[in-house]
Amino acid sequence: MLPSGHAWRKCSGAARDQCICMGLDLKPSNIVVKSDCTLKILDFGLARTACTNFMMTPYVVTRYYRAPEVILGMGYKENVDIWSVGCIMAEMVLHKVLFPGRDYIDQWNKVIEQLGTPSADFMKKLQPTVRNYVENRPKYPGIKFEELFPDWIFPSESERDKIKTSQARDLLSKMLVIDPDKRISVDEALRHPYITVWYDPAEAEAPPPQIYDAQLEEREHAIEEWKELIYKEVMDWEERSKNGVVKDQPSDAAVSSNATPSQSSSINDISSMSTEQTLASDTDSSLDASTGPLEGCR
């Protein structure tokens, strides 16, 4: 399948997900494709609902695919996932990671070395200490997208291929924008000429799946109880599949347990994460919401 088809499906998935959450951990290993080209996005364990009001931290996004606003501890919106999709699409084209940072400071350096130092307007949006660090980094003009993604890495057997090459490069240039306020939105990406051929209103505008009840995973059961619940869920799924009434919600058998929720914090509980972070290492632990990842850098 062409990268355009995969890009369409990733954007389409992001479009549906933004109705209830931001994916926040888009990476190649979280994307699976069946032989019929059906694409699924996996692992929503670190996803956040769109209405959640907290500062995203580097903990929630795999380093190579982190958007600049995550690296710099800024606020975020739905197109945070567009950056990740752009990185994945670039990796599909180049057959290598676009921004292979060794830690999150080096990750930022890799971004500006290739895309250029951001504008003064962008700098004004940063926290003072983060802005001080970013402004004191060497200034980079950036590499032209024609050089980052030269013609020879794309198919070029026909005139149509050449047109698609230009369109693919244009889409990448709109996805990989440091300033999220200037980055293409999910809806705009879905209608971009490079992937519009795959546009299916029924798929793109389908209602989002019902919000998963995370309380199920927070319950405590004995091993035998878990086995029974899993068995009941599998049998119920098979029955609903046969009858054509498969739903997105877990079966009643799995959610009607009278067991009390676990007293231990879940992975999605930001308050349970460590707030201590050193700049010399990249442990991917969470940061305090009042400071950015580059807080204290000079």
Q: Cite the active site residues.
A: 25
CA nearest 100: which of 84, 116, 111, 85? Answer: 111
H-helix or E-strand spanning residue 21: strand 21-22
Q: Which residue has the tokens 């991917």?
A: 284
Q: Which residue has the tokens 């980055």?
A: 183
Contact 76, 180 (CB under 8 A): yes
Q: Is 31 helix (H, G, I), strand (E, B) or coil?
A: strand
CA nearest 191: which of 170, 213, 221, 206? Answer: 170
**Amino acid letter for position 98:** L
Q: In whole angstroms, what is the distance from residue 195 CA to residue 198 CA?
A: 6
